[in-house]
Structure 1
Amino acid sequence: MGNMSKELLREYIKEQNFTNANDILNGLKEMFRDVLQEALEAEMDEALGYRKYDGIEKTNNNSRNGYSKKTVKTELGPVQVNIPRDRNGEFEPRIVPKYQ
């Protein structure tokens, strides 16, 4: 799990109260979706040059414009994520390409 500490992982396991291997698989699928969603948000932040809810002056005329739902096929099964959109329609996520 890369940088995730064993303590953090054990706390997660304790909170989830897994009872069988399928519970763990479903937990991993949810965690995967959450990480994927955050990666998409980070890509949008990078594309626009500021984070959501930042109180800074924007340096461009583009901004966030909601989401579109997409189902991504993974080895864990289908995962539904919300793909961020921008007003100018210029955002092309790298981690989940528009047309895949």
Structure 2
Amino acid sequence: MSNPKNRAEELLDELIKDKSPEDLLGNEGLLKQLTKSLIERAMQGEMTHHLGYEKNSSLGNNTGNSRNGKSNKKLKGDFETIDLEIPRDRNGSFEPQIIQKGQTRFTGFDDKIIFDVFTRNDHTRNYPTSPRNLSSGSLSGSDLRSHRFGNDHGDRVAESPLG
């Protein structure tokens, strides 16, 4: 059986293979999609913990509270706006912790992920700017398109326009 960490790295490598930073960090890029998925899955886990049983489990029958669909929420952050689906319970007692009721902003998440992607194989020296500058949009579109992320630990991590 493979190591879960190695499997996660393999999956990440496959996701970023041959992608430009624009594909990863753009308004509809992979980072935004992953952020949405991670937040929504975390909230589903919080709901399971809150109710005390898994989705579709017979343990939830006649408990007095159960899942009751989802509501929509717009969340602003480093990634523009993400439309989230927030799980609801019948009693209205579910209080998600990762994105709390009334919260409209979520920042810093992008920088943490971007930094990990850039540093996991120590390839930051190949980029003309830091991950923070890349995520804040200080590179032009042509700069973004000129870079490619590799999946095999370095043989095509970056093609720098600076030479």
1:87, 1:56 → 2: CA distance?
Answer: 16
- Residue in structure 2 matched with residue 68 of structure 1 by the alignment: 71
Residues 54 and 95 from structure 1, CA distance in 2 versus in 1: closer, same or farther, beyond 3 angstroms? same
Compute the TM-score of the two structures, normalised by the length of structure 1.
0.83
How far does the alpha carbon of each residue in 1:1-54 deviate from its partner, in whole angstroms, 9 at most, with x for none? xx573212112224xx52x21111110110110000000100100000011112
2:37, 2:81 → 1: CA distance?
Answer: 14
1:12, 1:72 → 2: CA distance?
Answer: 24
C-alpha deviation, 1:82, in angstroms: 0.5
- Residue in structure 2 matched with residue 79 of structure 1 by the alignment: 82
Matched residue SS, 1:82: strand
- Residue in structure 1 matched with residue 21 of structure 2 by the alignment: 21
**How many aligned positions are there?**
95
Unaligned runs of 5+ in 2: 104-163
Matched residue SS, 1:56: helix
C-alpha deviation, 1:63, in angstroms: 0.4
Letter in 1 for 2:24: I
Dislocated runs of 4+, deviation >3 Å: none
- Residue in structure 1 matched with residue 58 of structure 2 by the alignment: 55
1:80, 1:57 → 2: CA distance?
Answer: 29
1:95, 1:83 → 2: CA distance?
Answer: 11
Q: Based on CA coordinates, which of the two structures has the bigger radius of gyration?
A: 2
Compute the TM-score of the two structures, normalised by the length of structure 2.
0.53
Letter in 1 for 2:10: E
- The alignment status of 1:31 with 2:19, answered yes or no, reads no
Q: Residues 33 and 79 of structure 1 are in contact (CA less than 8 Å); yes or no, is this contact kept in structure 2?
A: yes
Q: Residues 70 and 81 of structure 1 are in contact (CA less than 8 Å); yes or no, is this contact kept in structure 2?
A: yes
Q: Which structure features the higher share of strand residues?
A: 1
How far does the alpha carbon of each residue in 1:46-95 deviate from its partner, in whole angstroms, 9 at most, with x for none? 00001111233547310011111001112112111111111011111111
